[in-house]
Chain A
Amino acid sequence: GAVVSQHPSRVICKSGTSVKIECRSLDFQATTMFWYRQFPKQSLMLMATSNEGSKATYEQGVEKDKFLINHASLTLSTLTVTSAHPEDSSFYICSASKSMQPQHFGDGTRLSIL
């Protein structure tokens, strides 16, 4: 089956630093990648959708300058949380899909900002 790998699985860093999370589709070419955020006991909330080679489309309320998304190839997308603060602490999950196909999810990144 389709495999999506996310790295790192856990990050702990100081307030003010920037954190990069990678999302890779290992066995298929993902035309579209999605980034979600999940707070404890809540459902996944879509942050942004990115198509390879074009700018990401952000959901309402998500700051594009805060959460930088790059989707430079069909197998890799990155999410950079810039100048992270404690309120950015969350579980970030990516997913990837080929055109017209269901999304496959990564295993998530637990981000903790001290």
Chain B
Amino acid sequence: KNQVEQSPQSLIILEGKNCTLQCNYTVSPFSNLRWYKQDTGRGPVSLTIMTFSENTKSNGRYTATLDADTKQSSLHITASQLSDSASYICVVGSNFGNEKLTFGTGTRLTIIP
């Protein structure tokens, strides 16, 4: 069964600090891995997308890593801001026709001043 597991479930950090979110997956076939940010009551917004051959990708203060051998990914957020408070969802795409996505349950990140 395809699964995406994320840790921690929730995280509270001080504004300005860095943090790293983890994602482990068992999805086959593997097409790509994305990280999304979802604010409460909004749709997911893409942060990074990585294919099998990519092991790191950055988008501003967000840096994602991918180890396709161990099937692990991380999302590192540097110099956190209050607006970073959101759920961060790891999503693995499989198939190359009608894309099938397997969603993690997300990490709820809260930045406190």
Chain A residues packing against B (C-beta within 8 Å): 4, 6, 32, 41-44, 46, 49, 51, 91, 93, 97, 100, 102-108, 110
Shortest Cβ distance from residue B81 to the other chain A in the assembled complex, whole angstroms: 21
In B56-78, the 8 Å CB interface with A consists of none
By a CB distance below 8 angstroms, the chain A residues around B103 are: 43-44
For B97, list chain A residues within 8 Å (CB).
100
The 18 sampled A-B contact pairs (Cβ below 8 Å) are A6-B43, A32-B99, A43-B89, A43-B103, A44-B44, A44-B89, A91-B41, A93-B44, A97-B99, A102-B32, A102-B34, A102-B46, A102-B93, A103-B101, A104-B46, A106-B43, A107-B42, A107-B43
Q: How far is the CB of B103 from chain A (nearest CB, A)?
A: 4
Question: B53 near A: Cβ within 8 Å?
Answer: no
Q: Is the CB–CB distance between A110 and B43 below 8 Å?
A: no
What's the dominant secondary structure at chain A's contact region? strand
How far apart are the CA atoms of A38 and B89 in the complex, in Å?
13
**B96 and A100: CB pair below 8 A?**
yes
Cα distance, A108 to B43, chains bound together (Å)? 5
Give B contacts to A, CB under 8 Å. 32, 34, 36, 41-46, 49, 89, 93, 96-101, 103-106, 108
A105 and B43 form a contact (CB under 8 A): yes
B43 in contact with A49 (CB, 8 Å): no
**What is the CB-to-nearest-CB distance from A70 to chain B, in angstroms, rounded to a whole number?**
18
Bound together, the chains give a CA A49 to CA B101 distance in angstroms of: 11
A47 to B42, CA, bound (A): 18
Residue numbers in B under 8 Å from A110 (CB-CB): 41
How long is the Cα–Cα vector from A81 to B67 in the complex, in angstroms? 41
In the assembly, what is the distance between CA of A15 and CA of B96, in Å? 40
A105–B46 alpha-carbon span in the complex (Å) = 9
Enumerate chain B residues within 8 angstroms of A107, measured Cβ to Cβ: 42-43
A46 touches B43 (CB 8 A): no
Seed contacts A4-B43, A102-B49, A107-B42; 8 additional CB < 8 Å A-B pairs: A43-B103, A93-B43, A93-B44, A97-B99, A100-B97, A102-B34, A105-B45, A108-B41
